[in-house]
A and B are shown apart, each in its own frame.
Chain A
Amino acid sequence: MAAVPELLLDPAIKIWVLLPISIVMVLVGILRNNVTTLFLSPKRTVPNVRLLKEQQHLGLLRTYRRNHHVFISQSDFDEKFDLFKKEYEFDNLMRHYVADPEKLQKLKENPNDFNTVMSDLSSGDMMMQMLKGNLANYIPQTVIMYWVNFFYKNYIVMKLPFNLTNNFKSMLQSSMNMIDLDASYVSAISWYFVNLMGLSSIYALVLNDNEMVTQITQQTTQQQQPAPPTAGGPTVDQLFNSELEGFKITDIKSCFTTIHDRVLEKYQ
């Protein structure tokens, strides 16, 4: 088969096609990120009161286990355990989540449904958040892709300075149906995809902010948003039960056992 003669690319293509696509993509990326930042909730550290309550009570149980030495005798510690056991009974804990007594009874019969309850509570808003996130990513990309396709369809914008095998044709020559064309020629739409995936170093150079670069890269590569923490993992009831189990088996070592001798030794 005769070799395909090398194509002569108009140098104006670089200025009027290659550069505009790259510049537009960089600018749209930065613009989208700034728009997103405008909508971003301020990073407050105020936790929800219900979660705070859980954290505080779990923390208190852990503190009791850690500082068991402040009790004089095991019976004092065990008295406290009995109090906690009563306080953190299933009903007492769950009524913060489920107000309806019937639902509470059902939940009591099958505690594993707790996760379903929590995910039901959060699913509506979660869907909305995902929808908004996806719209923010898809709309600009679709618009740019349409723009590239409309103006520069079937354009060869550049030739790579090295040879590639034919397997790269599908990647570098999207939308071009030329079997004999060498794989090192890049079409406009492929240049768009290459930019989409590989602009992070340009963003790093322009923005000089690693956090923002990661954010833009994640947006463009369409990563899945993580699920809310409430939709999985152990239930509140399980967490408290596990802490109480630990509490139950704690053998206290009172700091008062030898305190008479210690004080006499220290100050006499």
Chain B
Amino acid sequence: MDNYINLAKKVIEKYPLSKGNFLEIRFFIGEFTNINIRNNASEQISNESKIGVALRALIDGAWGFSTSKNFTKRDLSTAMETAISASKASVNGLKEKSEVPLNYTYTGKAPLKIKIDPRSIPLEEKIKVAIELEKNIRIQGDKIKVSTASLTDIVQREIIVNSLGTEVDVSNCYVRMSGSGTAREGTLIQNASNSVGTSRGWETITEINPTEMGSGIGKRAMSLLTAQAPPGGSMNVLMDPTLVGVFIHEAFGHAIEADSIINNMSVLAGKVGHKVGVEGINVYEDPTIPGLRGSYEYDSEGTKTRKRVIVDKGVLKGYLHSLETAAKMGAEPNGGGRAENFNYKPIPRMGVTYIDKGDMSLEELCQEIKEGVYLSKSYGGYVNPAIGQFFFTAQEGRIITKGEMGPLIQNVSMSGLTLEVLSNVLGIGKDLEMAFPGTCGKGQSAPVTGGGPSLAVKNVVVGGSR
């Protein structure tokens, strides 16, 4: 660690800075392994080595960014000069200066907190687990045309040094296993999938029963072949915790990332202190919960992260900040500046976003819905925070009639409006679960978790075909 930090400090020291100017060097060393088994054969067994350095300069209010794949003082100096020249070249078009807070520096080390390093597991053992998962999806019926199992482990280290004095060395490990089954009968094709993902080590996989996980996926894919086509229209919807995880991420989470706030591209700009949901709604962003996919101790700018209260009793409380957005808004940095790797700049991102639990059982929520649909197992979604319109998809669902669960329905998507949806909540379940380990895309990818309890919401637009 000291070698990297000393090297970075020596490079930064070469460039005298006026007050407000800022330099940053971030080393990134990552190793990724992926095992992918499809239909009883190897689809892909791969290893990726991602090693490089990201260099940022903020000179007279303009940002410059460059990278280096080599770690010598000479290479880093050349790359830093490129970053400085990029920022200087931008000054002519500058109408509003960027800034970073001058009074926050962080030092610390966050080594891997894992029991079993996935890099120590022999390839054969990883392949064996993936084969077991895939097999148990496939054997659930002849109509399963494609069965896949994927096992990914990522171990990465970021060393961040900046001209204000931040010196942070942070390592993260992400392990994920997912399976998918595609069933076909005639022209009807349906898919079911499931995944488990954490920021823990190989112990994640040892705690999973691939036989059960696989058979669950395969059975669901088969059963969807006899499910009804989904209905369309504005209706009452009951969502399971995986869907709620994506729902809160898309419907609300992106709109509280402070880059969209300072750029006037969020419907939640200027809404802190305003009522945005029913009294019972509490939303948190907490990457400090240990072991979840999306948990971390320091962000890619070296800021120590913490639990952030987003919505308290239906009232909006705050945003997710990078150094830049915190400075612009006069807020304290809260560790939201994340970057995928050295080719990307840190931007405000979510880590672990969830709605807190209420006190209703699934049966009570069904009664609350009366007529509508129960939707479950997320596929993901997207949002346009500037107009607050979001979209997300369920793998399956059930019709709810007279407060009772009815027949199975196929995959369907939904859309809603950020400023309406939390006010349309009819009931909050007591079954809180950090249920959706996913990957968020915002020009660059970030491992995240979304969660919550089962949630009943009125007037959701469901995009079915009948």
Q: Do A and B come from one complex?
A: no
Q: CB within 8 Å of A: which residues of B?
A: none
